[in-house]
Every structure is written in structure tokens, then in C-alpha cells.
Amino acid sequence: MSASNPSAWGSCFRQAAAEKWRAQSAFLGGAVTARLVEYALPLRGMCVLDLASGTGEPGITLAERVGPEGAVLAVDESSELLEIAAMRAHNKKLSNFSTEQADAHHLPCAGLSFDLAACRFGVMFFTDVPRVLSELRRVLRPGARACFAAWGPMEQPYWQTTMGIVHRHVGGEMLPPGGANPFRFSTPGLLFELLTAAGFHQVEESTEHLAWTWLGDAEEVFEYACSLAVPFRPMLERVPGEMWPAIRAEAKKAIERYRVGDEIRFGADIVLASGKA
């Protein structure tokens, strides 16, 4: 994906974190992936573009749905993350899943190539969203849908018990002004307006509350959030070393309030939007 600091998204620490937390991350985001796939209405034989695919979702699930008659191309700026995606697809014996390192603003695809496009937690980080939507329209066949999942507001349990607690301790800017913002489309209607302005029709947007569940310890989920929350890195780097024990203790206590048995059930408000080319 293309962010205001694209190199950070492809850096080695993000790859290492993605590999370390692969199983927990898949479980955590599983409900969002499943809902986006359901929302996209994939059919057997479709040719699908997974934009800003990262480690391979929803592309891998979509590849299972479209079957061997169909195909999925997963695109991301990070070749390291795409290597993980390719390995996951190989382990599932999916021969219809391929990857290509590319900038979403300049897709290396012929026009009218795809029957469907999906983007899970990527659209918030594109530097020039209208440009990306224009590129999507170019490569989508007439009537093909582009489907997006984006974060709702920051004021929800997962973020409040992790980055929110760090921010209360360290102060200052939570996110750099003009930088990557996970909550960019949390205001209802913003993504709808951009899709409409880009020429998509039958545009839809809604916010749904979905499962966002961590299987493991509170300390682990906090470490995971800090490792993968790249837009918050400037804030995290401002935290003095002596402040971390208190932050971790407070975060653990806050996270544990959402524990049910072996699971930490945060729940998440997710924006779903789509439009037809």
C-alpha cells in the first residue's frame, strides 16, 4: 500500500511482526475478512484484484471462493509481506493466487481486467485516494464492484486500550499531521463521497460492529498493537524508557476487562463501502 511513508510499511520490523503474530492476527481479523468476502459476493470463475493485500487477506479467502476457474492477484508495495502471502497460499495449495509488488496509484494491469476488487484496511493509507479509485475503475470491467473495509473511529476498545493509553501517558500528537491515519474514513459518508466523485455508481456505505477477538494474553495483544501500528510509531518513539512499565501495566488491566475465557473480545466498528465501475 502507499502511505505518506511507504518505506515504513515495507520495513523489516513489520515483516517480522507479521510472521511472529501470524496465527493470532488471522484470528483477530478473521471476522472482518469473512464479512468483507461475504460483502464482495465473489462468484466462481471471477478474476479478482486484492489491493494493498499485505500478508494475503482477503485475497486468499477470495481465491478459495472463486475456485480454480477464477484467479486472484494480490498487490502491495511490500514485497516482504507478499512473500508471506504467497507462502500462505502455497500452503493451502491455491494455484489461482498470485502476487505482484506495485503501487496502487499506478497499477501494472491492463484495463478491464477484473470482475471484482477488494481492499481490507488499505484505503485509509493511500496518499491520493481519488487517483487510486481512478486506477481501479480503469482495471475493472463494466459493472464490477470495488469493495472496501476501513476502520471506524479511534474511540473503540482495541485502540483505546493500546494506543489510547500510550497517548494519555506521553501526550502530544497521536498521529503526525498529514500522515497516515487509520481512522481517515470513520466519519460517515466520506468514502461514499469519494467513490461517487470517482465515477462509481450504486455506491454503498455502512458501519458494522464485528468481532475483533484476540486469542492469548493481554501482554501479547499490546505488544502486537505496538509492533504493527506503524502510523503511531512517532508517538511510540517519544515514550521514555522508564515510562513503559506503567503503560504496559495500565494497558494490561484495561485489555483484561474484555476477556471472556481464553479470548479477549474487543469488538470493532468497521466501515464497509462499495461501488460499481
So where are the chain's domains? 6-153+183-213+268-276
Residue 216 has pLDDT above 60, yes or no: yes
- How far, in Å, are 11, 84, 221 from residue 159 at the CA level? 23, 26, 11
43-93 pLDDT per residue, tens: 999 999 999 999 999 999 999 999 999 999 999 999 999 999 999 999 999
The predicted structure's pLDDT at residue 1: 35
**Cβ(122)–Cβ(109) under 8 Å?**
no
The predicted structure's pLDDT at residue 229: 85
- SS3 call for 188: coil
The predicted structure's pLDDT at residue 26: 87
17 against 255, higher pLDDT = 255
Alpha carbon distance 79, 157 (integer Å): 32
Residue 13 has pLDDT above 70, yes or no: no
Residue 101 has pLDDT above 90, yes or no: yes
Alpha carbon distance 198, 190 (integer Å): 13
The predicted structure's pLDDT at residue 6: 34
Alpha carbon distance 52, 82 (integer Å): 10
117-169 pLDDT per residue, tens: 999 999 999 999 999 999 999 999 999 999 999 999 999 999 999 999 999 99
Alpha carbon distance 108, 100 (integer Å): 9
C-alpha cell, 107: 497499477
242-277 pLDDT per residue, tens: 999 999 999 999 999 999 999 999 999 999 999 999
To 10 degrees, what angle do helices 163-170 and 244-256 make? 140
88 against 19, higher pLDDT = 88
The predicted structure's pLDDT at residue 41: 97
The predicted structure's pLDDT at residue 25: 87
The predicted structure's pLDDT at residue 163: 98
Helix residue ranges, H only, the chain: 6-9, 12-20, 22-28, 30-40, 59-66, 79-91, 129-139, 157-160, 163-170, 190-197, 218-228, 233-237, 244-256
Alpha carbon distance 8, 24 (integer Å): 22
The stretch 176-194 carries a mean pLDDT of 96
Q: Is the pTM of this model over 0.85?
A: yes
Q: Which neighbouring-strand residues pair with 215?
A: 263
107-119 pLDDT per residue, tens: 999 999 999 999 9
**Cβ(15)–Cβ(55) under 8 Å?**
no
- Please name the residue that has the C-alpha cell 507462502: 87
Pairing status of strand 268-276 against strand 140-151: antiparallel
Smallest CA-to-CA distance from 275 within 63, 66, 133, 127 is with 133
The predicted structure's pLDDT at residue 17: 64
- How many CB atoms lie under 10 A from the CB of residue 190? 16
48-58 pLDDT per residue, tens: 999 999 999 99
The stretch 167-186 carries a mean pLDDT of 95
Query: CATH assignment of 6-153+183-213+268-276?
Result: 3.40.50.150
Smallest CA-to-CA distance from 211 within 161, 158, 261, 163 is with 158
- How many CB atoms lie under 10 A from the CB of residue 16? 12
